[in-house]
């Protein structure tokens, strides 16, 4: 029976990953760092994470465990902690991880990943003795086959070094832009945070979710990270995407080019976004948006 391993650190994400990993093999075995047994895996090896320890401190013992059990395919989720675990576990196993955008075949294991900011898709045949995969959202279709849910506790000693001083939970809403039918995206064409209200007014009229380019989130922090679109952010497939003050760099477009219709407002008529838009308005958003609210 083919076997895929997963390494997880939280219950919900872990079960979701177990369902995804079933697309890779018949049997799914999990290593759970501090998250207990997974109902959706067939077997979970549970590691009791020490209170206050960072899950990443278990990379080395987890790698040793995977090697001892002869794992040949090991999948991780795409969150920040899982990514670090993936890279470290892979390094201890002497291989490089692959960020998987899609799975072409499992035997041989052939996967796709984005390259050059999404300008191209690379198809990789994994040749390493152990395939370490980071499954990006949507990379595989999750299975609804139930897992066996067996649990086997294992001992692991964390590597000393990092000390968690505190965790500040992030307030605010959980958004799922992937479900939105209409999305309004804002970019650096907005000069001040308060000006986003102009876009909010349009979004309200259209019944649209508000999203942004990466600099609006990671650069100036005007919007939460889950609202930025692109190669490293969310990928959406709405009926309409309205890009306002966004230049249309490939890294951004990759997240939105599955929209049925793309509309753009930009004051630079040579902005690359117009090459990818169905309907474009060349103009100053500060003039066009109030007029658009009136017209809608």
Ligand X SMILES: Cc1cc2nc3c(=O)[nH]c(=O)nc-3n(C[C@H](O)[C@H](O)[C@H](O)COP(=O)(O)OP(=O)(O)OC[C@H]3O[C@@H](n4cnc5c(N)ncnc54)[C@H](O)[C@@H]3O)c2cc1C
The contact set with ligand X (CB under 6 A) reads: 117, 187-189, 213-215, 228-233, 245-247, 249, 251-252, 255, 265-268, 271, 284-286
Please, which residue, 165 or 194, has the CB nearer to other proteins?
Answer: 165
Least separation in angstroms between CB 175 and ligand X: 16
Of 46, 98, 213, 235, which lies in the binding site for other proteins, with binding defined by CB under 8 A?
98
Closest CA to 154 of 46, 245, 63, 78: 46
265 contacts other proteins (rule: CB under 8 A): yes
Near other proteins by CB under 8 A, which window of 14-22, 42-50, 145-153, 217-225? 217-225
Question: Residue 261 region, left (φ>0) first, then alpha (ψ -120 to 50), else beta?
Answer: beta
Give the per-residue contact string, 14-43, with other proteins (x = CB under 8 A; - = no).
Answer: ------------------------------
Closest CA to 40 of 144, 139, 132: 144
CA angle 212, 217, 222 (to 5 degrees): 90
97 contacts other proteins (rule: CB under 8 A): yes
Q: Is the peptide bond before 99 cis (omega within 30 degrees of 0)?
A: no
Give the per-residue contact string, 129-168, with other proteins (x = CB under 8 A; - = no).
Answer: ---x----------------------------xxxxxxxx
- Residue 205, classified by CB atoms within 10 Å of its CB into exposed (0-12), middle (13-18) or buried (19+), is middle
Please, which residue, 102 or 142, has the CB nearer to ligand X?
Answer: 102
Closest CA to 197 of 182, 206, 186, 207: 186
């Amino acid at each position: 029976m083919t076997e895929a391993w997963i390494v997880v650190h939280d219950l919900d994400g872990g079960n979701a990953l177990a369902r995804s990993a079933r697309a890779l093999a018949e049997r799914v075995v999990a290593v759970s760092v501090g998250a207990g047994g997974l109902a959706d895996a067939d077997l979970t090896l549970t590691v009791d994470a020490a209170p206050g320890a960072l899950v990443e401190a278990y990379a080395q013992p987890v790698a040793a465990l995977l090697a001892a059990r002869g794992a040949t395919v090991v999948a991780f989720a795409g969150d920040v902690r899982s990514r670090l675990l993936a890279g470290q576990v892979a390094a201890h196993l002497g291989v490089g991880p692959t960020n998987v955008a899609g799975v072409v075949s499992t035997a041989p294991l052939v996967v796709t990943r984005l390259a050059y900011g999404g300008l191209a898709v690379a198809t990789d045949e994994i040749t390493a003795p152990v395939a370490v995969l980071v499954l990006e959202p949507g990379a595989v279709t999750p299975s609804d086959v139930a897992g066996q849910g067996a649990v086997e506790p294992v001992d692991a000693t964390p590597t000393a070094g990092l000390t968690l001083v505190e965790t500040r939970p992030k307030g605010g809403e959980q958004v799922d832009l992937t479900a939105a039918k209409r999305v309004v995206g804002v970019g650096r064409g907005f000069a001040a945070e308060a000006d986003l209200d102009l876009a909010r007014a349009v979004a309200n009229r259209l019944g649209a979710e508000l999203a942004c380019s990466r600099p609006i989130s990671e650069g100036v922090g005007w919007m939460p990270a889950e609202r930025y679109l692109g190669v490293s952010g969310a990928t959406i497939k709405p009926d309409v995407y309205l890009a306002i003050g966004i230049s249309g760099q490939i890294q951004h477009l990759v997240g939105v080019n599955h929209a049925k219709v793309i509309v753009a407002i930009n004051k630079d008529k040579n902005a690359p976004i117009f090459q990818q838009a169905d309907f474009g308005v060349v103009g100053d958003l500060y003039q066009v948006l109030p007029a658009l609210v009136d017209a809608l």
